[in-house]
Structure 1
């Protein structure tokens, strides 16, 4: 039987291309909320497996089949769960723990949305300005090379 509540632990995957443009996606349930790939760890699932699964589910990119490298930054963020999403988590669960990953893809990589309204490829600073969450902004800043730096 599936647990009715989400586990307060997730994976965040910042995807960027060979030109250091960052993929950001617009949520269906909150069109003002733009983000990188993110998803909840399922019971017994490791963060890296969540990252692999969520990238495939949300973008259509099969990291392993494409031969890409998913980089685990060995970094976790802790943030307050938004009030409008609190009902998804067990009672008295104020915080989520987020594991940070990044993925570089080819500049012509096809994106197939399944859970979002739209996507954009933005230069690093524009992506940082567009995403809603502070932890997503920090991950873009830390994980994506500057466009003039070799990747």
Structure 2
């Protein structure tokens, strides 16, 4: 299996009322997050966001529905996941995107990655996510949300 690229997306899925979809990771309980995933080959990052959304939730959207925040942050890759990257790779650059859905919906969870999902208010989501970069993006959601 080829190594993952240390370039990824964070995709916040939300409603106009700022209810946010969170997924619980399989590796350890109570590790909630937004949709995330690494770029594959040379795909555009917005394509990575659309692909990961479909793979992790079954939700299909048009590229125009995805908002590129033009924001990224570097973070240290958790030790538990470093084996997925080339030897010596310790940091990842994460690019932030969001997509607004008309309302809360059922999803098709990717059982290989996540064990359950919840829709919660954005303020509650900030407290639930394990990733500091995910929490920071959620704090910015109200000002970035086109319908809010």
Aligned to 1:73: 69
Q: Distance in 2 between matches of 1:88 and 1:108?
A: 33
Aligned to 2:81: 85
CA deviations on 1:39-93 (whole Å, 9 max, x unpaired) are 01011111110000000111111012xx971000000110000011111111111
CA contact (8 A) 2:19 2:104 kept: no
Q: Which runs of 5+ in 2 are unaligned?
A: none
Q: Distance in 1 between matches of 2:135 and 2:104?
A: 24
TM-score (norm 2): 0.90
Secondary structure, counterpart of 1:138 in structure 2: helix
Q: Which runs of 5+ in 1 are unaligned?
A: none
Q: CA deviation at 1:94?
A: 1.1
Aligned to 1:55: 53
Is 1:36 the counterpart of 2:34 in the alignment?
yes
Q: CA deviation at 1:106?
A: 1.8
CA contact (8 A) 1:15 1:23 kept: yes
Q: CA deviation at 1:145?
A: 5.1
Q: CA deviation at 1:139?
A: 0.8
Q: CA deviation at 1:30?
A: 2.0
Taking structure 1 as reference, are residues 34 and 45 closer, same or farther at Cα in structure 2, changes over 3 Å only?
same
Q: CA deviation at 1:123?
A: 0.9
Q: Distance in 2 between matches of 1:145 and 1:97?
A: 23
Aligned to 1:110: 106
Task: Say how many residue pairs are matched.
Answer: 146
Residue 21 of structure 1 is aligned with which of 14, 19, 22? 19
Aligned to 1:128: 126
Secondary structure, counterpart of 2:17 in structure 1: coil
Q: CA deviation at 1:10?
A: 0.4
Q: Distance in 2 between matches of 1:58 and 1:50?
A: 12
User: Over aligned residue pairs, what C-alpha RMSD do you find?
Assistant: 2.1
